[in-house]
Structure 1
Amino acid sequence: MKNWIGSHPDLWEFIKFNVLSNIATVTNFILLWLGTGFLFKTFSEQSFNWFIFNYSVENGGLTGFLSFLLAYVGAQIVNYIVQRNLVFGANNSISSTLHWYILTVVFAGVVSIILPPYTISLFTGFGFSIGVAQTIANVVNIFLQVVINYPMLKFVIMKK
């Protein structure tokens, strides 16, 4: 295994990135389910429409918006710590790159908050329940976050 890792360091890093991102993924799902099931449940009959965000009651309403936001922010905090320490082993100054991380997660976060009402509507249209549709929408968001975050982390934020 050590020989293979030595021969394929970039591939090994990408594998570690994806495997250890599951810590943030688990955090994301737990916070999403806590938000929709308990923390923000009282807002489930209230739509949320502001600026570019369009969460009708059928697509989760204010409960969905707040839950996706909480899940995303919590997961990104966990992900930063895990990726910096366990994947990239970054030793650069946090203060010199933190602004890039914040910009990256804000961009990915806006995408992740705009997209769910549309994906939820699509999946409920296929006959899935709102809870299952929200979970699938979260999977879509997590995939997009990998596509956005990995190159930024590797080449800009946590380069050695």
Structure 2
Amino acid sequence: MSFKTWTEEHKTLWQFIKFNVLSNISTITRFVCTWVGTAIFINGMQLNGPFKFWLFDYTTAGSNYLGGFITFLIAEVLAQVVNFFVQMFWVFDSDTSFKDAAWKYALLAVLIVVVNLILPSYVTAFCQSTFGWDAGLSGTVASAVNTLAAVVVSFPLLKFWIMPDSKDKKADKAE
């Protein structure tokens, strides 16, 4: 059996493998932005005033205050933009209209960004208080936790709601 035949016969599994492997492009984006943001907003600009708005609580030293919030906001937004294009064109090879997929993905991204902005302050504070880790390492762990949470929610929504196979594409494959 050729690799092409295998991928055609196991399409969902192959998409899940590609999803996990190629999602690392957005993960790398998130990590790099976290490291750069930590250097700029936390260590460089010393944006260390407490920040609290709605569900976002960056009021403890372990959360890295306003600098931590800004760092994770920028990292998450850029990671989601990168991820949309990766998923649309490389993972699902979707023929769904860009407009239809974009608004649905935007909803998913908002959900992911909100969760990923709430979670880091708690994960970072936990890592710093429990293990004594510095802001950079704690932020990296928080980014990894965010990534795992996003995978569990994202794949099924992307496959079945945001970027599903079109009826025409399914009909062509059935013939």
Question: How far does residue 120 in structure 1 lie from its aligned partner after superposition?
Answer: 1.1
The letter of the residue matching 2:14 is W
Among 24, 34, 37, the alignment partner of 1:35 is 37
Aligned-partner Cα distance in 2 for 1:7–1:29:
35
Does the CA contact (< 8 Å) of 2:38 and 2:135 recur in 1? no
124-133 or 20-29, larger mean C-alpha shift:
124-133
Structure 1: runs of 5+ lacking an equivalent: none
1:76-107: per-residue Cα shift (whole Å, max 9, x none)?
Answer: 11111111111101111121232211111101
Match of 1:88 in 2: 92
1:112-135: per-residue Cα shift (whole Å, max 9, x none)?
Answer: 100111111211122322221111
Look at both structures and tell me which one has the larger radius of gyration over its CA atoms.
2
The letter of the residue matching 1:35 is G
| Residues matched between the structures, number | 160
TM-score by length of 2: 0.85
The letter of the residue matching 1:66 is I
32-41 or 72-81, larger mean C-alpha shift:
32-41
Aligned CA-pair RMSD: 1.5
1:4-47: per-residue Cα shift (whole Å, max 9, x none)?
Answer: 32332111110001111111111111111111112564143211
Matched, 1:47 2:47: no
Taking only the aligned residue pairs, the percentage that are identical comes to 40
Aligned-partner Cα distance in 1 for 2:135–2:141:
10
Does the CA contact (< 8 Å) of 1:44 and 1:63 recur in 2? yes
Structure 2: runs of 5+ lacking an equivalent: 166-175
Aligned-partner Cα distance in 2 for 1:20–1:111:
22
Aligned-partner Cα distance in 2 for 1:43–1:51:
23
1:1-160 matches, within 5 Å, as: 1-39=3-41, 41-55=44-58, 56-124=60-128, 125-160=130-165
Structure 2 residue matching 1:54: 3-state secondary structure: strand
The letter of the residue matching 1:147 is V
